[in-house]
Amino acid sequence: MWRQAAVQEYSGIAVDQYRNEIYLPAKTHHDSDRLIGFWLKAANDGWGFRWAILLVEEDFFVGHIGFNSLTACSEIAYHMNPKYWGNGIMTEAANTAIDWRREAGTSKIEAFIEPENTDSIALAFRLGMKATDIFSDGAQRYCMLV
């Protein structure tokens, strides 16, 4: 997922678990492994999480979803193979992830989305998020109470 230019168009720069920058899209499998290591450490440390999204019928990885923070206001993030865009898969995955955070006591879900990323904005609206006047590094904050 991290090596696909279309998927990473709005992602910016990532970091590994040692805070070393990884420019996206990732250039090598090693860079992708460093990102996986980052999310494994985040899960082990209890502040972030990612799930793989699999198509059950095909047993095939199509994307990932999770949270950049696991606090009272949790930041959701997601990426999906463009071949599967527009099929409702990410909406289903996002609703499931939001339910998981709601059950854990989260009161808000937020997402920071680049204004040009109209597909992601549409997903935020489908999930019940509202645009706010807050921006971070050019990305607009969308938020919902859960």
pLDDT for position 140: 98
pLDDT for position 1: 86
pLDDT for position 58: 85
pLDDT for position 6: 93
Flag whether pLDDT at 12 surpasses 90: no
pLDDT digits (tens, 9 = 90+) for 27-38: 999 999 999 999
Burial letters 11-28, b for 16+ CB under 10 A, else e:
beebebbeeeebebbbee
Spatial separation of the C-alpha atoms in residues 109 and 75, rounded to whole Å? 6
High-pLDDT (> 90) share of the chain, %:
93
| Prediction pTM value | 0.93
Q: Among all chains, which residue has been given the structure tokens 């109209």?
A: 118
pLDDT for position 57: 86
pLDDT digits (tens, 9 = 90+) for 24-78: 999 999 999 999 999 999 999 999 999 999 998 888 999 999 999 999 999 999 9
Give the distance, in angstroms, between the CA of residue 60 and the centroid of all CA atoms in the same chain: 19
**111: its two tokens:** 């997402």
pLDDT for position 134: 98
pLDDT for position 2: 86
Flag whether pLDDT at 142 surpasses 90: yes
Domains of the chain, first to last = 1-45 (no CATH), 46-145 (3.40.630.30)
Give the distance, in angstroms, between the CA of residue 129 and the centroid of all CA atoms in the same chain: 15
Q: In whole angstroms, how far apart are CA 141 and each of 45, 50, 112, 117, 120?
A: 25, 20, 4, 13, 12
